[in-house]
């Protein structure tokens, strides 16, 4: 089985997937926001296609650790996803993942226009890496 990870932004949802052995986090795709129902449907299709029984959602906490407006939007997204998804949903602190992904792409001399198309799925893979590393440390 694989684990799907989501970096839910205001315009796009970056999606990453683990390998079946949960050793690697691989950028998968970007879902352009349309509306909540359509977004959830697309995520469900991806989870089914990749036989993912777990989804990790990035939790955009403020730098202070407090929950802000972005985290409240994610709460609504996770609630809607949980109503339709039969697998397990995990949340992972995603502070600075998009900034880290952007920095990595700049370091690789990726053009600004190309960065726009890949930064979200790269951020999702960083969220997934965090989750997989934590799971491995905890031994579950």
The pLDDT assigned to 138 comes to 85
pTM for the full model? 0.84
Residues 6+ apart with CB under 8 A from 124: 5, 6, 7, 13, 14, 15, 16, 27, 28, 58
Domain range for 31 is 2-138
Which of 21-30, 42-51, 89-98, 118-127 comes out lowest in average pLDDT?
Answer: 89-98
Tally of domains in the chain: 1
Q: Lowest mean pLDDT of 43-47, 63-67, 72-76, 127-131, name the range.
A: 63-67
CATH number at 88 reads 3.30.420.140
């Amino acid at each position: 089985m694989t684990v799907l990870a989501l970096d839910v932004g205001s315009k796009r949802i970056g999606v990453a997937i683990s390998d079946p052995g949960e050793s690697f986090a691989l950028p998968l795709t970007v879902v352009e926001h349309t509306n909540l129902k359509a977004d959830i449907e697309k995520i469900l299709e991806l989870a089914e296609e990749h036989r993912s029984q777990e989804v990790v959602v990035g939790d955009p906490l403020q730098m202070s650790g407090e929950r802000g407006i972005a985290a409240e939007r994610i709460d609504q997204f996770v609630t809607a996803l949980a109503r339709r998804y039969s697998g397990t949903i995990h949340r992972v602190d995603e502070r600075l993942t998009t900034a880290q992904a952007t920095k990595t792409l700049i370091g690789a001399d990726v053009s600004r226009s190309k960065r726009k198309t890949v930064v979200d799925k790269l951020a999702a893979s960083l969220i997934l890496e965090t989750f997989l590393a934590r799971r491995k440390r905890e031994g579950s």
